[in-house]
């Protein structure tokens, strides 16, 4: 690595890595700016992929439930505040970091080696989420096939307290009464799970070059279905009661004094935007260097939150009609999570004319919502593997994706035994770190152009103080108020709760392990490590950037990694 200034022209890329790989990735196009890893074929494909990753099942089955539970329209106040002080700052930070370094969640932290364990944690979280997320898609596929019948299988005359659909749900998934009764694999669900993984593997076989085409459908079709369901829902008798219950005149501002409301608002923002799972870094790492990631972050975050609110109207208008049919309050027919997607809403749709049509549309929507979120999760794993072993895996994208899908399919089989849903992970890890202060801001300005001091005042306040404080409070409060989870009336046994904590520990343990290891291997102590890869100067001319790089310690000689893509 030269100690003197090195001039790199706009069309070139300069790469040094541990493995000395010089193989060309067959999926890198002639027009790609990044000749080593490739870029998105178009800005539209990147934006649709990011929107598809952020907008997922939680927007449809969790946000509406939280809104009516926590004061209706009043819930939008803490939700918006948490978006501003936590969600958007971290979304902007992660996407900027990935774009600047052009690396996946593990390699990107080589810029701050002591925190490289954060990248491993991100990949592990994405792996656990990918395992159970495709199980949900498999359930949706099963229900989609079941919807091609008239009448729908869960349509019966006796529907007291919504038990008909609940019983059908139990029969279809063959769920046992507790986690202690695992039972055999439910083979019709195993086949649906296999189909789900085939769809994911086929879409990602060529990486972003193929998934970028698929998202034109998977990221846009849910909006078509939500719009159709909303139009149909508001024309039904009782729809007004459902909408008012969701976000209308029954809003309860007194709920804002409840700390649980603020915690749930923050949790929903993090869950919905998929922050700290590595997907934002992985997807943005394929951007062109000068892409305006700030503008993209604003668009994706607003679209995501707007979708949540919009989905609530479509959901509760039809639930209001269901409450009218049953002559019950909306609160007694509404549900959250699996209950809303596979019990309450299918039951409501079965009461409509041409019920199979509405059921088919709804479950195709769930499948597409799940798939484009799943694409990013698998992209995290594949990108991390290829970045870690470029010499071996760079030209084998299809093989890597296929192998990952096969392994995760096998790991997902316990989730479709009769123990079913309660076996899925129930603890999400949210870890956020920053690549040192003012230098990171200069890195962002290098990509998006210089900004005023007033512009950075807000982001500095969030990154350096507001966001860490908010996250710390939420973390402490969540631990303080932790109660043993249940799935409906099914209690988790002690061994199940212990397994959940072990999974959490397994994800987090890599952060201190890698930190200690990097400090041990580095010369000059922990403060020297931060200077290992340090950009000293940047002078922008017409099509030319001048860089100078220094080696601060043995860490650089060990890692030998700096990638500049122009």
Query: Does the annotation place 369 within a ligand binding site?
Result: yes
Query: Does the annotation place 55 within a ligand binding site?
Result: yes
Reported as half-sphere exposure (CB side, CA atoms, 13 A), residue 498 has a value of: 3
Query: Does the annotation place 304 within a ligand binding site?
Result: yes
How many helices, marked H, and strands, marked E, lie in the chain? 26, 7
Query: Does the annotation place 54 within a ligand binding site?
Result: yes
Query: Does the annotation place 373 within a ligand binding site?
Result: yes
Q: CA separation (Å) from 54 to 57, 108, 136, 243, 498? A: 10, 21, 17, 25, 30
Structure tokens at 172: 């279809």
Nearest CA among 222, 229, 267 for reference residue 69:
267
Structure tokens at 167: 């019983």
Query: Does the annotation place 272 within a ligand binding site?
Result: yes
Query: Does the annotation place 52 within a ligand binding site?
Result: yes
Query: Does the annotation place 180 within a ligand binding site?
Result: no
Contact (CB, 8 A) for 278 and 97: no
Cα–Cα distance between 10 and 380 in angstroms, integer? Answer: 28
Cα–Cα distance between 465 and 473 in angstroms, integer? Answer: 12
Going by the DSSP 8-state scheme, the letter that residue 522 receives in this structure is: -
* φ, ψ at 6 (rounded to 5°): -125, 125
* φ, ψ at 151 (rounded to 5°): -75, 165
Reported as half-sphere exposure (CB side, CA atoms, 13 A), residue 291 has a value of: 29
Structure tokens at 395: 């030209």
Structure tokens at 258: 């409840």
Cα–Cα distance between 242 and 68 in angstroms, integer? Answer: 10
Residue found by looking up tokens 């099509």 in the block? 543
Q: 427: which residues sit within 8 A by CB, 6+ positions away? A: 500, 501, 503, 504
CA angle 502, 98, 513 (to 5 degrees): 35
Contact (CB, 8 A) for 8 and 566: yes
Adjacent-strand bridge partners of 16: 562
- Binding annotation for Na(+): 52, 54-55, 59, 272, 304, 369, 372-373
- Residue positions in the annotated binding site? 52, 54-55, 59, 272, 304, 369, 372-373
């Amino acid at each position: 690595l030269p100690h003197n200034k090195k001039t790199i022209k706009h069309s070139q890329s300069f790469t040094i890595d541990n493995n000395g790989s010089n193989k060309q990735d067959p999926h890198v196009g002639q027009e790609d700016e990044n000749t080593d890893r490739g870029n998105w074929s178009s800005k539209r494909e990147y934006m649709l992929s990011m929107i598809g990753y952020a907008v997922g099942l939680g927007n449809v089955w969790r946000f509406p439930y939280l809104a009516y539970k926590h004061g209706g329209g009043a819930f939008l106040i803490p939700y918006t505040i948490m978006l501003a002080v936590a969600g958007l700052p971290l979304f902007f930070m992660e996407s900027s970091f990935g774009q600047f370094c052009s690396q996946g969640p593990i390699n990107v932290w080589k810029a701050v080696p002591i925190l490289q364990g954060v990248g491993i944690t991100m990949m592990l979280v994405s792996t656990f989420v990918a395992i159970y997320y495709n199980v949900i898609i498999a359930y949706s596929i099963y229900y989609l096939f079941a919807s091609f019948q008239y009448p729908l299988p869960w349509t019966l005359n006796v529907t007291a307290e919504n038990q008909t659909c609940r019983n059908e749900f139990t029969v279809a998934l063959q769920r046992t009464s507790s986690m202690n009764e695992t039972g055999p694999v439910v083979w019709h669900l195993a086949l649906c799970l296999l189909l789900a993984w085939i769809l994911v593997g086929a879409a990602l076989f060529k990486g972003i070059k193929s998934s970028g085409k698929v998202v034109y459908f998977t990221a846009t079709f849910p909006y078509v279905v939500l719009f159709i369901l909303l139009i149909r829902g508001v024309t039904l008798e009782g729809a007004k009661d459902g909408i008012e219950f969701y976000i209308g005149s029954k809003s309860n501002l007194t709920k804002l004094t409840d700390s649980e409301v603020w915690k749930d608002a923050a949790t929903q923002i993090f869950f919905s935007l998929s922050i700290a799972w590595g997907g934002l870094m992985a997807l943005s790492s394929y951007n062109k260097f000068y892409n305006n990631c700030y503008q993209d972050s604003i668009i994706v975050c607003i679209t995501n939150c707007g979708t949540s609110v919009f989905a609530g109207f479509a959901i509760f208008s039809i639930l209001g009609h269901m409450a009218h049919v049953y002559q019950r309050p909306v609160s007694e027919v509404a549900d959250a999570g699996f209950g809303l997607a596979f019990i309450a809403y299918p039951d409501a749709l079965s009461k409509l004319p041409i019920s199979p049509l509405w059921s088919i549309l709804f479950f195709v929507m769930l499948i597409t919502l799940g798939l484009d979120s799943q694409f990013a999760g698998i992209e995290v794993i594949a990108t991390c593997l290829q970045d870690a072993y470029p010499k071996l895996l760079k030209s084998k994208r299809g093989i890597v994706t296929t192998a990952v899908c096969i392994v995760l399919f096998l790991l997902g089989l316990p989730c479709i035994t009769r123990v079913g849903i309660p076996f899925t992970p129930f603890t999400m890890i949210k870890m956020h770190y920053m690549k040192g202060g003012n230098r990171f801001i200069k890195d962002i300005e290098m990509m998006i152009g210089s900004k005023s001091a007033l512009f950075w005042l807000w982001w500095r306040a969030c990154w350096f103080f507001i966001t860490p404080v908010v996250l710390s409070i939420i973390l402490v409060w969540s631990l303080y108020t932790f109660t043993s989870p249940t799935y409906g009336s099914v209690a988790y046994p002690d061994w199940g709760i212990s397994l959940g904590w072990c999974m959490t520990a397994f994800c987090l343990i890599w952060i201190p392990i890698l930190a200690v290891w990097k400090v041990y291997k580095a010369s000059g102590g922990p403060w020297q490590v931060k200077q290992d890869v340090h950009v000293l100067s940047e002078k922008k001319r017409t099509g030319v950037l001048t860089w100078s790089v220094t080696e601060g310690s043995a860490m650089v000689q060990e890692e030998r990694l700096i990638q500049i893509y122009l």
